[in-house]
Amino acid sequence: MEKDKCKIRTDLVLETGETVIKNNIRNGIEIEEENNKKDNIHITRMRIVNNKASAILNRSKGSYITMKVPQMSEEDEGYHREISKAMAKELLKLINTHVKTNESPHILVVGLGNRDATADALGPMVVSNLLITRHIIEFMGYDEVEGAKAVVSAIVPGVMAQTGMDTVEIIGAITCRTKPDILLVIDALAARHIERLNSTIQITDTGIHPGSGVGNSRKEITQKTMGIPVIAIGVPTVIDTETLIHDLAGEDKAQGDFKDMYVTSKDIDELVKRISYTISEGINICMGLK
């Protein structure tokens, strides 16, 4: 019987576009890089501007910001603070492209994932650490939330096995009722290269396809399905075993038997907890909250 062809799975656009970038085929792909040697943070800003580039990368047109932060898994509060500030700066740029700068937008933060599965718990844990202001501002005004630049609300919709509903249905209903200006979606991602695990932050204004990196794709959460801009923040916490073997031993050694297995770090509990604080702090800073 013929062996299954190895499927390379990744949620990171920078990994999807490695061949294109390496061969310098950038028609329709704008790339800008920034290297902060002091804080050891490397930022790649990629923008897909036409349908040809979108088809080559199999990604939607829009902006993709990839922050490479090799020491994000380490216990260094000072360093994590610098990551949060750098992330807040990039996030604010994307938000400002979709809202009027003289207005304070209502932002609904969505923590995707399963709180009971550690490698998939990033979204719910980020929401747990956020400063939520919608209820305060609506009843008592902005004066009660010093420095607030946005009205922040949040939900953790769970997963279909827990609710019996697709995430898009839950978010769509809440969006219709509360009428936010922007959705900010947080999710754990899958990477191709093991050095990307827990050391990369991807921010994009093209929304998200939950579960696509692990072959369990659900309905997309995008401006097309939600009716408002969707910004997604993700950190890769797992790597597909078949992809890992392909990269380490070559395609001829990769077997289809590994297609349902995924690898994560042995200390993923502590890592996700630490990274979730970093991401939530970045969002809080972006919203003008302390």
Give me the tens of pLDDT residue by residue for the chain, a chain 290 residues long. Answer: 334 444 667 889 888 877 666 665 667 888 899 998 888 899 999 999 988 888 888 889 999 999 999 888 888 777 789 999 999 999 999 999 988 766 689 999 999 999 989 999 999 999 999 999 888 877 887 766 777 888 999 999 988 888 888 899 999 999 999 999 999 999 999 998 888 999 999 999 999 987 554 455 568 999 999 999 999 999 999 988 877 777 777 655 555 566 677 888 889 999 999 999 999 999 999 988 66
Query: At 155, which helix (H) or strand (E)?
Result: strand 151-155
According to the model, what pLDDT value does residue 3 have? 40
Instruction: For residues 56 and 216, give the distance between their C-alpha atoms in angstroms, rounded to a whole number.
Output: 22
* Cα–Cα distance, 240 to 246 (Å, whole number): 10
pLDDT at 213: 44
Residues 6 or more apart in contact with residue 8 via CB below 8 angstroms = 192, 243, 246
> Strands 200-204 and 62-68, how do they pair?
antiparallel
Number of C-beta neighbours around residue 194 at 10 A: 15
Q: Specify the length of the chain in residues.
A: 290
pTM of the model: 0.88
Name residues whose C-beta falls within 8 Å of residue 77's C-beta, 6 or more positions apart in sequence: none
DSSP assignment string, 176-218: HHH--SEEEEEEEEEESSGGGTTSEEEEESS-B-TTGGGT---
- Backbone phi, then psi, for 91, in 5-degree steps? -65, -40
Q: What pLDDT, on a 0 to 100 scale, did the predictor assign at position 224?
A: 92
Cα separation, 289 vs 73, in Å, equals 24
Cβ pair 235, 279 in contact under 8 A: yes
Residue 145 DSSP code: S
What's the confidence (pLDDT) of residue 265? 86
